[in-house]
Amino acid sequence: MGYMNKSIKEIHEDLINGKVTSDELVKEALEKSHELQEKCNAFVTILDDAEGVEVTDNLLSGIPYGVKDNYSTKGILTTGSSNTLKDYVPFFSATAIEKLDKVGAVKVNKTAMDEFGMGGTGTTAHTGIQKNPWDTTRICAGSSSGSAAAVAAGVYPYALGTDTGDSIRKPAAYCGIVGYKPTYGMISRYGVFPFASSLDHLGVLTRSVEDAAIVVDNMKGIDPKDMTSWDSKGINLYESLENNPKGKKVCYVKELCDISNYPNADEELKLHLENFHKSVDLCRSLGMEVEEVSVDRDLLNASYSVYVVIHSAEASSNMSNLTGIIFGPRGEGDNYIKMMKDHRTKGFSPLIKRRFIIGSYVLQKENKERYFNNAQRARRLLVDTWKELFKKYDAVISPVGIGPAKKIDELNKKYDTNTVALDEQLQIGNFGGFPSITIPNGFVNNLPVGINITGNCYDDINVLNIAYSLEINMNYKGQIAGGDNNG
């Protein structure tokens, strides 16, 4: 019986009481890392040299954790799971990492991801596919695939993620764990490889709402190196947690959550939505007010295109620094253009190249108004619609995805276009910078599924508390893939 499947508070108490040492925890986490690497290919780097540290009052001190491989870690290989940076060792750390270093959190591995965070399957890392620890024939979803797999498998209580569309919150659902991205700017993005700057969020994957609150408390804060960060000194998420659901008002969107929208729904989607409505009933039984609201279907359907246009445009520009000239493997060629071309041709996966082409296309003079500017307008409409809902409701709740994790070999299967809006709707949380958390809410065909709670900017405490109350009244807190609580 190890410790890494416990909650942060439990482990901290065991450390304080001398039941276990930080060194022993690190050893256990490293062993589990190697086991999981065999099984799921979750890591780019396992830090076998990691050592325990002195335990302090800080709940994270001495406890191992995982870092998504797009967080710069000083002196430690950081690849973004891309061949373009396959040997890149940063000489500075991301601000969030510096903060965790300071409180004595112990990095034990760098987790694999969809290349530079682009992609939602966990299949595009330069080190191969991340498999779902609940069923290794299935994906974890992405892009925080390795982090989700590792937390779900009990390698450690938490791992860091990033979320540009739903890259924390969807893998969390597919792996039966908690995934939380706080309000845009609560955590500094400095030192994290950018994907689409206006949508990029940092966050965490854990096995409980409480752990998510503890970790983000230690990552957040205004950073003079990130102009979009803001001062959250007055906010203590962990201390603000309370199980007091009575009178909270939440809503769900009919056009997304009602089965009647999906005439061709498969068994998994039906079960998933049924399960979601069970959670809705639970909310009511806990004394929350739940209402069904209607949102223009055309606007919802536009959401995914808006996401593709904006993130592709920003990504094409953000990744223009990857030329292989200052860092990354030098390309071959007798002039700089040929060298850059060679580096980028060899380095990027086809998925990224496709998005660069889309990004360039929508920014071209003749296309910009039609695609890029219209996408910005639609983004604004979607955000305004959600902000309107937040005037009346504490949060919008929704099922995550259209069922449990997909099979790796069925990824190319034709999908029902009716379900795109549902599958991709968490992106609205990125459009608005809203705090958003996914928690596990049951199983479909013995595979975990999740529910998402999204609230207004700066209202993280409210969002976490709704999740906290639901979690207490459900049976999935702290569950480990393959553990006793399996379905």
Partner 1 sequence: MDKYKALIGLEMHCEISETNTKVFSASANSYTDLANSNISPLDMAFPGTLPVVNKEAVKKSLMASMILGCGQPEYMYFERKNYYYPDLPKGFQITQETKPAPVGIYGKLEYECNGETKVALINNLHLEEDSAATTHYDNYSTINYNRSGVPLLELVTEPCFHSSDEAVSFLETMRSIYQYAGISEADSKKGQVRCDVNVSLMDVDKDDSDPNNWGTKIEIKNVNSFSAVRDAINYEINRQMEAKENGTYDEMEQQTRRWDEESGTTIYMRSKADAIDYKYFVEPNIPKFKLSSEWLEEIRASIPELAHQRKDKYMNQLGLSEFDSKILVKEKSVSDYFECILDNGIDAKTAANWVTSILLGNLNKLEKDIKDISLTPKMLSDLIHKVTKGEISIKQGKEVLLKSLEENLDPNKVIEELGIKQIGSAEEIQAIVLEVLSENPDAKEKYNSGRTNIIDFLVGQVMKKTRGKANPSITYDTLKKELEG
Task: Indicate which residues carry an active-site annotation.
Answer: 68, 143, 167
Upstream peptide bond of 294 is cis (omega within 30 degrees of 0) = no
Contact assessment for residue 434 and residue 387, using Cβ atoms and an 8 Å cutoff: no
User: Token pair 């694999």 is at which residue?
Assistant: 112
Question: Which of these segments, 83-91, 153-161, 251-259, 385-393, binds partner 1 (CB under 8 A)?
Answer: 83-91
Q: Is 137 in the site for partner 1 (CB under 8 A)?
A: no
Shortest Cβ distance from residue 82 to partner 1 (Å)?
10
Question: Which of these segments, 325-333, 346-354, 402-410, 441-449, binds partner 1 (CB under 8 A)?
Answer: 325-333
Beta strand 201-206 with 178-181 is antiparallel
Q: Is 446 in the site for partner 1 (CB under 8 A)?
A: no
Mask: binding to partner 1, 370-389, rule CB under 8 A, as x and -?
A: --x-----------------
- Choose which of 29, 60, 63, 94 interacts with partner 1 (CB under 8 A): 94
- Choose which of 88, 262, 304, 415 interacts with partner 1 (CB under 8 A): 88
Q: Is 325 in the site for partner 1 (CB under 8 A)?
A: yes
- Beta-carbon contacts of 16 under 8 Å, excluding residues fewer than 6 positions away, are 55
Question: Which of these segments, 49-57, 124-132, 185-193, 467-475, binds partner 1 (CB under 8 A)?
Answer: 185-193
- Choose which of 294, 326, 413, 417 interacts with partner 1 (CB under 8 A): 326
Q: Is 21 in the site for partner 1 (CB under 8 A)?
A: no
Looking at beta carbons only, is 88 or 262 nearer to partner 1? 88
Q: Is 369 in the site for partner 1 (CB under 8 A)?
A: no
- Choose which of 5, 7, 37, 72 interacts with partner 1 (CB under 8 A): 72
Query: Is the dihedral angle over the CA atoms 435, 119, 347, 70 positive or is it negative?
Result: positive
- Choose which of 320, 345, 445, 446 interacts with partner 1 (CB under 8 A): 320
* Chain centroid offset of residue 184 CA: 13
Q: Is 357 in the site for partner 1 (CB under 8 A)?
A: no
Contact assessment for residue 203 and residue 433, using Cβ atoms and an 8 Å cutoff: no
Q: Is 16 in the site for partner 1 (CB under 8 A)?
A: no
Q: How far is CA 444 from CA 28, 96, 121, 423, in A?
A: 31, 35, 19, 16
Taking the C-alpha atoms of residue 286 and residue 444, their distance in angstroms, rounded to an integer, is: 24
DSSP letters spanning 229-284? ----TT--HHHH-----TT-EEEEEHHHH-GGG-TT--HHHHHHHHHHHHHHHHHH
Mask: binding to partner 1, 196-235, rule CB under 8 A, as x and -?
A: xxx-------------------------xxxxx-------
Closest C-alpha among 165, 107, 109 to residue 141: 165
Shortest Cβ distance from residue 431 to partner 1 (Å)?
12
Q: Is 345 in the site for partner 1 (CB under 8 A)?
A: no
DSSP letters spanning 389-412? HHHH-SEEEEESTTSSPPBGGGTT
